[in-house]
Amino acid sequence: MVLARQGIWPPVVPTVVLVECLSGRPQHDAVTNRFLKTCDVTEDLPDHLARRAGALRASAQRGSAVDALVVAMAEPGGSVLTGDTGDLRALAAHADDVAVVRA
């Protein structure tokens, strides 16, 4: 896999993202759950990341708390893979070297 050769696999996914990407319906969530098994799902949310996410959200004046946290976790120099780029790109415009890539 190209991403593994580039050293950017597995992706880090904070557990709060599960709130936005899962429905609680096993058949509906099956594909997402298979993908999540390949990821590094982390429960760790340090205070400085929560504060940074809040600052990004205030600067961008848009995006959910989860979107802001994902962008804050990608700083500096990381990428966010998403199917919904609008709010994430607005947040990344205020971040330190974060790319938003449509998955």
Q: Which two tokens stand for residue 52?
A: 């940074």
Q: What pLDDT sits at residue 1?
A: 64
Please answer whether residues 84 and 63 qualify as being in contact, where contact means their C-beta atoms are separated by less than 8 angstroms. no
User: How far apart are alpha carbons 45 and 53 in whole angstroms?
Assistant: 11
Average pLDDT over residues 25-41: 95
Give one DSSP letter per residue of the chain, joined into a string.
Answer: -HHHHTT--SPEEETHHHHHH--S-HHHHHHHHHHHTTSEEE----HHHHHHHHHHHHHHT-S-HHHHHHHHHHTTT-EEEES--HHHHHHHTTSSS-EEEE-
Q: Which residues pair with 100 in a beta bridge?
A: 80
Average pLDDT over residues 81-90: 94
The mean predicted confidence, pLDDT, of the chain is: 93
pLDDT band at 70 (very low <50, low <70, confident <90, very high): very high
Q: What pLDDT sits at residue 42?
A: 94
Q: What pLDDT sits at residue 9?
A: 86
Spell out the domains of the chain, with CATH numbers in brackets: 2-102 (3.40.50.1010)
Average pLDDT over residues 95-101: 96
pTM of the full predicted structure?
0.88
pLDDT at 73 over 90: yes
pLDDT at 2 over 80: no
